[in-house]
Chain A
Amino acid sequence: MATLPAEVLARRSARRRRREAIVTHVCLIIGVLIFAFPIYLAVIGSTHSASTIGRGDVPLLPGPDAVANYAQAWGTGGGRFMGVPAGGMLINSLVMATLIAAGKIAISLTSAYAIAFFRFPLRMVFFWLIFITLMLPVEVRIIPTFQVMVSLGMTNSMQGLVVPLIASATATLLFRQFFLTIPDEYVEAAKIDGAGPLRFFVDILLPLSRTNIAALFVILFIYGWNQYLWPLLIVNDRSLETIVVGLTKMIGSGDSQNEWNVIMATAMLAMLPPVGVVLLMQRWFVKGLTETEK
């Protein structure tokens, strides 16, 4: 290697570093734009009248009809047939997502507690039974599960939407993993303090699991909110319609005469809660995600 004077090398490296930083910024900005642009278009779409969009003059700047569009989406719904107000669908989605997340966490906490803190016959058999369900996502067994729902008379109901989805191998594994890191000394100290298993669970274990519960809740809430195939099959009573399914039903076959303004307003409303949760609880969300899937 030819030796150059130190200051030449130093200047060269400073220039290279600056150039690299610029390239990095440009790459990231392009990435951010690719992800933001569809949303931006949807926002724009939700501020124009149906006729403006239907004409095909796709605007790039906000229009004057935002209030009217969102009011229509919220109150009466869009689509030329079977308009369902977004307000009700949002509440359905909210209830479903919350119940799924809370239910998954509740039954996973108790079963992980049993597996991690007790010794009892068939313990590992139960563990594997739960573990195996990892391999059976709802989509794969969708039709037979639907038939079970029909025989149980659980279609067209909120419990039908929620209950079959609240078993969670992933959450159970995560909590078990976390429980295994809890030092024996806490259990021992609690025993000497006179706390029984239920007291230990409520007084010690639950408070210690707080951040794990919060992180998991974010992930599971989004999981519940974004359910598609399951509600599509289970529910045909439109008063139980969730917003994600309801939105695609508004589109039908994608006719250009659709009320795209209202559809886009509804899409924004459908995205807001889960995206908001992710942005507001970013730290927990990332922790929850990367730890769940380990």
Chain B
Amino acid sequence: MRRTFFRGVGLPYLLLAPQLLVTAVFFFWPAGQAVYQSFLREDAFGLSSEFVGLENFIDVLSDRDWRGAAARTAFFSISVAALALSAALFLAVQADKHIRGAGAYRTLLIWPYAVAPAIAAVLWLFMVHPSIGLFGRALNAMGVPWDYKLNGDQAMLVVILASAWKQVSYNFIFFLAGLQGIPRPVLEAAAIDGAGPVRRFWTVVFPLLSPTAFFLLVVNLVYACFDTFGVIHALTQGGPGKSTETLIYRVYTDGVTNLNLGSSAAQSVILMILVIGLTVVQFRFVERKVHY
């Protein structure tokens, strides 16, 4: 812990001021607004509003469309996380081996991190478009009726693939860093104990990697819940029907398109609680990790 400090009180407040100002105006004020509005209901013209207690929440939680979106979000997020994590772990284990060109492989696997989710969506769209996309046309030519713009399951598959595709490199970087952080002697000891490569992975490497994996799981879930807005907006706009409408997409449509502010605010508050929950779980875990 630091023992030497500078004297003065005015200066540190001055140094903190910009951050606190931005945080207050653009974080706490809107968050407070959201909580406040979530208890209000506006009339059709937005002229007056009345306090309705938890009614907005009850409406949201009992809304079948919202529940559908919640279930869809869960399915979507878990699929994206599972796909992106397992692919990244597999590739990281391969790239961690002592082979020629390991550095080049690494470089070639990390750049998709820089691709915006919306651009990833455009790239995938160009591949799977039913009439101009290479794969879309090939599927149709083989007799598979492929049109993600009409078939909800296909639309879901495409947004999952595009979202996971973009996230693999992020996970890869962390898994690789985690693998490189495992002390060599531990692996060598396991090898001398006679454990084969597969056994070594599951009994030594994977347990040591589990903090990284857990951290990434939370990050991936948050990513799939919120950052994939761009993917969905660019690829399917939540459609066809509502088959790719996730919770964050619904907040957007209710708030921007339908201008239903009370409901949108209640949805925002529910999402905030969700993120706070995920963050708390993560920090709990990180803390435990620190102790053991």
| Interface residues, chain A, with chain B CB atoms under 8 Å away | 20-21, 24-25, 27-28, 31-32, 34-39, 41-42, 45, 53-54, 56, 58, 60, 106-108, 110-111, 113-121, 123, 126, 129-130, 133-137, 139-148, 152, 163-164, 166-168, 172, 180, 184, 187-188, 191, 196-198, 200, 222, 225-226, 228-229, 232-233, 244-245, 247-248, 251, 253-254, 256, 260, 263-264, 267, 270-271, 274-275, 277-279, 282, 285-286, 289-290, 293
Q: How far is the CB of A42 from chain B (nearest CB, A)?
A: 5
B47 at the interface (CB under 8 A from A): no
Residues of B within 8 A of A163 (CB): 22, 26
Asked whether, in the complex, the Cβ of A248 is within 8 Å of the Cβ of B22, the reply is no
Residues of A within 8 A of B18 (CB): 106-107, 110-111
CA–CA, A285 and B6, complex, Å: 33
Asked whether, in the complex, the Cβ of A129 is within 8 Å of the Cβ of B23, the reply is yes
B121 at the interface (CB under 8 A from A): yes
Asked whether, in the complex, the Cβ of A42 is within 8 Å of the Cβ of B126, the reply is yes
Residues of A within 8 A of B4 (CB): 184, 187-188, 191
CA–CA, A120 and B109, complex, Å: 46
B48 at the interface (CB under 8 A from A): no
Asked whether, in the complex, the Cβ of A27 is within 8 Å of the Cβ of B119, the reply is no
CA–CA, A70 and B113, complex, Å: 24
User: Which residue of A35, A45, A53, A108 contacts B169 across the interface (Cβ within 8 Å)?
Assistant: A35
Q: How far is the CB of B153 from chain A (nearest CB, A)?
A: 18
B276 at the interface (CB under 8 A from A): yes
Asked whether, in the complex, the Cβ of A274 is within 8 Å of the Cβ of B114, the reply is yes
Q: How far is the CB of A230 from chain B (nearest CB, A)?
A: 10
Give residues of chain B (35-84) contacting chain A, Cβ–Cβ below 8 Å.
Answer: 37
CA–CA, A129 and B137, complex, Å: 53
With A197-B8, A228-B229 already in contact, the answer to whether A116 and B123 are too (CB < 8 A) is: no
Q: Can you list 29 pairs linking A and B with CB atoms under 8 Å apart?
A: A20-B97, A24-B97, A27-B90, A27-B91, A32-B108, A35-B165, A58-B134, A106-B18, A107-B19, A110-B18, A114-B12, A116-B2, A126-B16, A139-B226, A141-B34, A141-B268, A152-B25, A167-B26, A180-B1, A222-B113, A225-B114, A225-B116, A229-B230, A248-B234, A251-B125, A254-B125, A256-B131, A263-B126, A285-B113
**Per-residue interface assignment for chain B, residues 10 to 37, with 1 indicating a CB less than 8 Å from any chain A CB and 0 otherwise:** 0111011011101101111111011001
B233 at the interface (CB under 8 A from A): yes
User: Which residue of B33, B114, B126 contacts A148 across the interface (Cβ within 8 Å)?
Assistant: B33
Number of interface residues of B (CB under 8 A): 98
With A38-B127, A253-B237 already in contact, the answer to whether A271 and B119 are too (CB < 8 A) is: yes
CA–CA, A137 and B124, complex, Å: 26
Residues of A within 8 A of B105 (CB): 28, 31-32
Asked whether, in the complex, the Cβ of B27 is within 8 Å of the Cβ of A167, the reply is yes
Residues of A within 8 A of B252 (CB): 142-143, 229
Residues of A within 8 A of B109 (CB): 28, 31-32, 35
Asked whether, in the complex, the Cβ of A144 is within 8 Å of the Cβ of B165, the reply is no
User: Which residue of B27, B122, B126, B127 contacts A248 across the interface (Cβ within 8 Å)?
Assistant: B122
| Interface residues, chain B, with chain A CB atoms under 8 Å away | 1-6, 8-9, 11-13, 15-16, 18-20, 22-23, 25-31, 33-34, 37, 87, 90-91, 94-95, 97, 99, 101, 105, 107-127, 129, 131-134, 137, 149, 165, 168-170, 173-174, 177, 197, 215, 219, 222, 226-227, 229-230, 233-235, 237, 248, 251-252, 255-256, 261, 264-265, 268, 271-272, 275-276, 279
Contacts between the two chains (Cβ within 8 Å), count: 292
Q: How far is the CB of A279 from chain B (nearest CB, A)?
A: 6
User: Which residue of B6, B114, B127 contacts A118 across the interface (Cβ within 8 Å)?
Assistant: B6
Given pairs A180-B1, A251-B234, 19 additional interface contacts (CB within 8 A): A20-B197, A27-B94, A31-B87, A32-B108, A35-B109, A35-B168, A118-B5, A143-B251, A144-B37, A168-B19, A184-B2, A184-B3, A197-B8, A226-B115, A244-B230, A253-B237, A271-B115, A275-B115, A289-B170
Which residue of chain A is the closest to B103 with respect to CB atoms? Answer: A282
Q: How far is the CB of B149 from chain A (nearest CB, A)?
A: 7
Q: How far is the CB of A2 from chain B (nearest CB, A)?
A: 15
With A116-B2, A197-B11 already in contact, the answer to whether A135 and B215 are too (CB < 8 A) is: no
Asked whether, in the complex, the Cβ of B173 is within 8 Å of the Cβ of A286, the reply is yes
CA–CA, A139 and B122, complex, Å: 21
Asked whether, in the complex, the Cβ of B107 is within 8 Å of the Cβ of A282, the reply is yes
Residues of A within 8 A of B23 (CB): 129-130, 133, 167
User: Which residue of B19, B94, B234 contacts A108 across the interface (Cβ within 8 Å)?
Assistant: B19
Asked whether, in the complex, the Cβ of A45 is within 8 Å of the Cβ of B114, the reply is no
